[in-house]
A = this chain, B = another copy of it.
């Protein structure tokens, strides 16, 4: 920061993303320790933070590599020097994405592991092979398994045909992965981890039956990670754990003291029955899970609820504060709030100690 910029949090524009560095580091260390104790590789999903600085801290704390959701995120993190990257998405390699994937493969430093990408169809496998022609040592694929979230991915019984197509096309099939997204319910966390282990084990067996040995068996969301079956999985890909959010709080996964990222906002209007704060859906997002009690929580006012949001208004009930008060809102889904911002204001002991860019903001192609 230059000398002319404000260094007091209260003097900065609202709404702004505020990151508590000590809590961030604690969350990073705790998940790294958990994975290490279980003998699991940790490959955190950086779509949550889209930050080179935070990804470096995750790797420094023991993460083996990183997970991204898009080719554009892979481009940002590869340019920043990351070499062990998994694009955990069934990329459709059209002309644009084929050209971009080839540039990534060609630029990958010698001696590093292959870039990993997801596939969930035989045609996806064939396109990946075409895209990697002549560069087969720099790419490996993982077959996406649907373990109950019912989004992309194949059921375990179909994994063998996708893997066989990939092998026949000349690709290195590194293994299988799944996202047990149905862990996002208070009662669903353990059950989703059970589904995840069963479906991944079935998929590993299906691959073995056609002669493919899965060296990577990858799963794990933040809510299900605690219950991950280390006899089946080799790695975890949690994302939200670095920051936590109101969903994790309301799932019983996080206490308010764990939450590292908030949106600092100002009460701009005081009505008889509610307050209006200046962070709306263009800052917090509009995500609201079936179990959520509102559109976000207030870090320091646990009885308050955000009962409505529009683009620049959050309607808050359950707390009375004077107009002009600054409050810390915990977004329901932190990955969404981060993608709406350009930078983090990093605080330690209440003082601003840095500004980190959201390097991959909008890198969603």
User: Which residues of A are in contact with B by a Cβ distance under 8 Å?
Assistant: 6, 10-16, 47, 69-70, 72, 89-92, 94-97, 100, 120-121, 123-124, 146, 150-153, 181, 266-271, 274, 276, 278, 281-283, 285-288, 308, 310-313, 315, 323-324, 335-336, 339-342, 362, 364-365
Partner of A121, one of B146, B270, B336: B270
Partner of A269, one of B152, B288, B315, B339: B152
Q: Which residues of B contact A281 (CB under 8 A)?
A: 285, 287, 336
Which 6 pairs between the two chains have the least Cβ-Cβ distance?
A: A152-B269, A13-B365, A286-B286, A92-B268, A152-B276, A282-B364
Q: Which residues of B contact A14 (CB under 8 A)?
A: 94, 96, 365
Chain A interface mostly helix, strand, loop or mixed? loop
Q: Is the CB of B323 within 8 A of A341?
A: no
Could you tell me the distance in whole angstroms from the C-beta of A97 to the nearest C-beta in chain B? 7
Given contacts A266-B92, A287-B281, A336-B281, contact A124 B365 (CB under 8 A): no
Name the residue on B nearest A280 (C-beta): B364
Q: Is the CB of B92 within 8 A of A310?
A: no
Query: Other CB < 8 Å A-B pairs besides A11-B95, A12-B96, A286-B287, 5 of them?
Result: A6-B96, A14-B365, A47-B311, A311-B336, A339-B340
Q: Is the CB of A266 within 8 A of B310?
A: no
Given contacts A121-B269, A152-B269, A269-B153, contact A324 B94 (CB under 8 A): yes
Q: Is the CB of A364 within 8 A of B323?
A: no
Would you give 7 A-B contacts (Cβ < 8 Å), ordered by A? A10-B94, A15-B364, A70-B312, A121-B269, A123-B323, A123-B324, A151-B313
Q: Which residues of B contact A150 (CB under 8 A)?
A: 271, 274
Given contacts A311-B47, A313-B151, A365-B13, contact A323 B124 (CB under 8 A): yes
Q: Which residues of B contact A13 (CB under 8 A)?
A: 72, 96-97, 100, 365
Q: Is the CB of B11 within 8 A of A96?
A: yes
